[in-house]
Chain A
Amino acid sequence: MIGVGAKPKQYSNVLDKPLSRGRQEVSLSAFAFLFSEMVQYNQTQVDNIAELERRLEAAGYAVGARVLELLCHRDKGNRRETRLLGILSFVHSTVWKVLFGKVADSLEKGTEHEDEYMISEKELLVNRFISIPKDMGSFNCGAFVAGIVKGVLDNAGFPAVVTAHFVPMEGQQRPRTTILIKFAEEVLRREARFS
């Protein structure tokens, strides 16, 4: 039994709690089980693939918004990026490292459009245990991660359309996942003013 003196401190408000250092871990299977339940539940709520991706993206968005706030407090001394490349490398390095334990495989600028950037990952964590049935065609669970990226960017003041795609790779059995980021016009205009 817990003695009266040793009773853990009660916090009336979640903001009064000290910010955790973020070193805690859970097993990958625990996350995989939970994620798969989320996908299955959302499948029961929709009648087409686009809608399913939209719902996963919405769930990811909520995660992204919180991750931005958390990391700005913990890792960046309450500052957030205001430049395009700054925020992109924040997503590619800091956010990826905290969430997935590694920096994303690559960050590239689109060759055809000025406003497009791509973050690619050979094996995205959320796609690891997922196989897509043929009749679901282009469905990609990476929509959840795209949502996280969108959540971070939107809330940092960089509105963008973010989508996840499979890109087949030569000599590899599984395609890689590319997160395509298309920034809103205003972002590019502001960026041009800065430089």
Chain B
Amino acid sequence: MAPLAPRSGDAVFANVERVNAELFTLTYGAIVRQLLTDLEEVEEVNKQLDQMGYNIGIRLIDEFLAKSNVSRCVDFKETCDVIAKVGFKMFLGVTATVSNWDAEGTSCSIILEDNPLVDFVELPDTCQGLNYCNILSGVIRGALEMVSMKTEITWVRDMLHGDDAYELRLKLLKQVPEEYPYKDDE
């Protein structure tokens, strides 16, 4: 059987069940507020959001692979394109762009202009160090780890801090060779 062609993010998004983005946005806001109350330190909140994103990422990758028919990417470049064009569309209904590649092709920026997490949000003075959308970087890190890529992801631009877009810097640290836990003849 010929491999199924990968589906575009739009096609997948059109076919999955969807919910109102405001429910999602406000629920996320409630989570962030809970964390701020519980943990008090903005830095700790950033860490916890990243951890929650990571937990989501390692589960989300299964659904992503099952519904998108995307197969193994040939290189990190293709991986990032797939994240931006298919991944973001499929789950959040928005498209991101990839740019600013370095010469080795191991780091790039994913730029978001539309971000459903931040509607109705304004950072108070006491939270200036907060990376409000830190859950997103955790999701990407977790998902990529499940396909054997260790990455480091940092926020470069954030509209809540007055920038003109959201920019995530992705850096490929290591491609972990796949090891099967069993041998063929066992």
Tell me the A residues contacting B by CB distance below 8 Å: 1-2, 7-8, 10, 13-14, 20, 22, 24-31, 33-35, 37-38, 40-42, 45, 55, 58-60, 62-63, 66-67, 70, 98-101, 125
Question: Across the interface, do B92 and A27 meet the contact criterion of CB distance under 8 Å?
Answer: yes
**A84 → B minimal CB distance (Å):** 25
Residues of A within 8 A of B122 (CB): 13-14
**What number of B residues sit within 8 Å (CB to CB) of A?**
42
Does B184 sit within 8 A of A, measured CB to CB?
no
Which of B31-39, B78-86, B148-156 lines the interface with chain A? B31-39
8 Å CB interface, B1-55 against A: 13, 16-24, 26-31, 33-35, 38, 48, 52, 55
User: Which 8 pairs, one residue from A and one from B, show the smallest C-beta to C-beta distance?
Assistant: A24-B21, A25-B18, A14-B122, A28-B17, A59-B30, A30-B91, A63-B26, A37-B52
Question: Across the interface, do B33 and A40 meet the contact criterion of CB distance under 8 Å?
Answer: no
**Apart from A8-B165, A66-B120, what are 19 other A-B pairs with CB-CB below 8 Å?**
A2-B165, A8-B113, A10-B162, A10-B164, A20-B119, A24-B93, A26-B18, A26-B91, A26-B92, A26-B116, A29-B91, A33-B56, A41-B31, A59-B31, A59-B33, A59-B34, A63-B30, A67-B22, A101-B19
Question: Across the interface, do A22 and B22 meet the contact criterion of CB distance under 8 Å?
Answer: yes
Does B70 sit within 8 A of A, measured CB to CB?
no
Proximity string of chain B (164-186) to chain A, C-beta cutoff 8 Å, 1 when within and 0 when not: 11000000000000000000000
CA distance A36 to B183 in the complex (A): 36
Question: Across the interface, do A34 and B31 meet the contact criterion of CB distance under 8 Å?
Answer: yes
Question: Across the interface, do A14 and B121 meet the contact criterion of CB distance under 8 Å?
Answer: yes
Question: Across the interface, do A28 and B30 meet the contact criterion of CB distance under 8 Å?
Answer: no
Can you list 7 A-B contacts with CB-CB less than 8 angstroms, sorted by A residue number?
A10-B162, A24-B21, A24-B116, A27-B13, A34-B27, A37-B31, A62-B30
Question: Across the interface, do B91 and A35 meet the contact criterion of CB distance under 8 Å?
Answer: no
**B165 → A minimal CB distance (Å):** 7
Given contacts A13-B122, A28-B19, contact A62 B92 (CB under 8 A): no
For the residues of B in contact with A, the DSSP-based class is helix
Question: Across the interface, do A30 and B92 meet the contact criterion of CB distance under 8 Å?
Answer: yes
State which of A8, A22, A27, A55 has its C-beta within 8 Å of the C-beta of B16.
A27
Given contacts A22-B22, A29-B16, contact A41 B56 (CB under 8 A): no
**B127 → A minimal CB distance (Å):** 14
Given contacts A27-B93, A34-B56, contact A67 B26 (CB under 8 A): yes
Residues of A within 8 A of B113 (CB): 8
CA distance A59 to B23 in the complex (A): 12
Question: Across the interface, do A41 and B48 meet the contact criterion of CB distance under 8 Å?
Answer: yes
Question: Across the interface, do B31 and A31 meet the contact criterion of CB distance under 8 Å?
Answer: no
Residues of B within 8 A of A125 (CB): 19
CA distance A123 to B134 in the complex (A): 31
Question: Across the interface, do B56 and A37 meet the contact criterion of CB distance under 8 Å?
Answer: yes
Does B77 sit within 8 A of A, measured CB to CB?
no
Residues of B within 8 A of A14 (CB): 120-122
**A129 → B minimal CB distance (Å):** 11
Does B90 sit within 8 A of A, measured CB to CB?
yes
Q: Which residue of chain A has its CB nearest to the CB of B34?
A: A59
Residues of B within 8 A of A41 (CB): 31, 34-35, 48, 52
**A17 → B minimal CB distance (Å):** 9
**A152 → B minimal CB distance (Å):** 12
Q: Which residue of chain A has its CB nearest to the CB of B91?
A: A30
Does B63 sit within 8 A of A, measured CB to CB?
yes
